[in-house]
Each structure stands twice: as C-alpha cells, then as structure tokens.
Structure 1
Amino acid sequence: MILTILGWIVFGLIVGFIARALVPGKDNIGILATIGLGILGSVVGGLVFSLFSGRIELSNPLGWIGSIIFAIILLVIYNKVSGRKKLQR
C-alpha cells in the first residue's frame, strides 16, 4: 500500500515536471501542485488513452502519452483561471 502511494507520487512528479517543461514560460507552482497536476493528468489521461489501446496498465506507452497531454491541458487551464502566467509577445 505504501509503495503504491509512493509510486503514484513519484509518477505524478515526473509527469507534472514534463508538463511544466513543455508549457512555455515560467510556472510559479510548488512541488505539491506539480505532483497533484501529474497525478490528476495521469488518472484522466492515462485512462482515456489506455482505453484506445484496450490495455489499462502502467507500461502502456499510450497511457504515458495521455498522462502528459492531460497534465499539459490541466496546467494551461490552471494558468488561465489563476492568471498566474502570461505569455510574453
């Protein structure tokens, strides 16, 4: 049980960090928000993209891609709603 929770935290951190790296500009969110972003993106995106392949498992590449894409979408929505990040023109 503890290893599962720790695994989700590490996975969320990795996915959240990748999403923050791919969205242009500086994000002023902390590590806990990054982990939450990654976990939420992983749950939603991983499930949606895994359903396309018919396999729901951690090693499914579509699940990883879906996790990152949905984490990026959530980060962009968060930035728009909170007004924390403005793109420079």
Structure 2
Amino acid sequence: MGIIAWILIGLIAGFIAKAIMPGKDPGGVIITILIGIAGGLLGGFLGKVIFGVDSIDGFFDLSTWIAAVIGSVILLALYRLVTGNRRHA
C-alpha cells in the first residue's frame, strides 16, 4: 500500500479508536493519524505473531481495518497512560 493509503487508514482507525474509547486526549488530528498508522502496523504485527495470519494485505481487506483499529485502541490506551499525568501540569 502507498503512503496515502496508510494515512487514510490511520486517520479512520484513529478516529474509530477514539470513538471506542471516548475521553479527552492531549493532541489533535495529527496525533490521531500517527496513532492510527502505528496502530495498523502494531495490529498487523500482533496478528502475524499471535494468530499466524497476514492481516495487512490490502486497503479493502477487512483484516487490515480490524488490525488497524485494534492496534490503534492499544496505542491510544498506552498514550493516555503516558500523557495522563501531564495534563494537570
């Protein structure tokens, strides 16, 4: 997949992750895109290691989107843990 496809998947997966885990996050759209892109990579890696499947096959494959959203939710939770104490500073 090209870089534009990764950015689009990242944007959508990041927004879905924020919808699944509502709440305030420090950061905006750029952080959402970065979490989504990294989440897609993390989800694909975990799918391959844990289940032995190649989950990042193409833009229109359901497994690509599921992996991206699951990875994004994991990274969003970690991001909130790391930045949670800094909001009150």
Query: TM-score scaled to structure 2, two decimals?
Result: 0.75
| Superposed CA offset, 1:18-77 (max 9, x none) | 101110322232111111000000011023225636344024423321221111111111
Counterpart contact for 2:41–2:71, Cα < 8 Å: no
C-alpha RMSD of the superposition? 2.6
Partners of 2:85 and 2:32 in 1: how far apart?
15
Secondary structure of 2:23's match?
coil
Counterpart contact for 1:19–1:75, Cα < 8 Å: yes
Number of residues of Structure 1 aligned to a counterpart in Structure 2:
84
Q: Aligned residues: percent identity?
A: 40
Consecutive unaligned residues of structure 1, counting only runs of 5 or more, are none
For 1:83, the aligned partner's letter is G
Partners of 1:49 and 1:6 in 2: how far apart?
23
Equivalent of residue 23 in structure 1, options 13, 21, 24? 21
Query: TM-score scaled to structure 1, two decimals?
Result: 0.75
Moved more, 59-68 or 8-17: 59-68
Equivalence for 2:64: 63
Partners of 1:6 and 1:84 in 2: how far apart?
34
Distance 1:14 1:60, change over 3 A: same
Counterpart contact for 1:44–1:70, Cα < 8 Å: yes
Consecutive unaligned residues of structure 2, counting only runs of 5 or more, are none
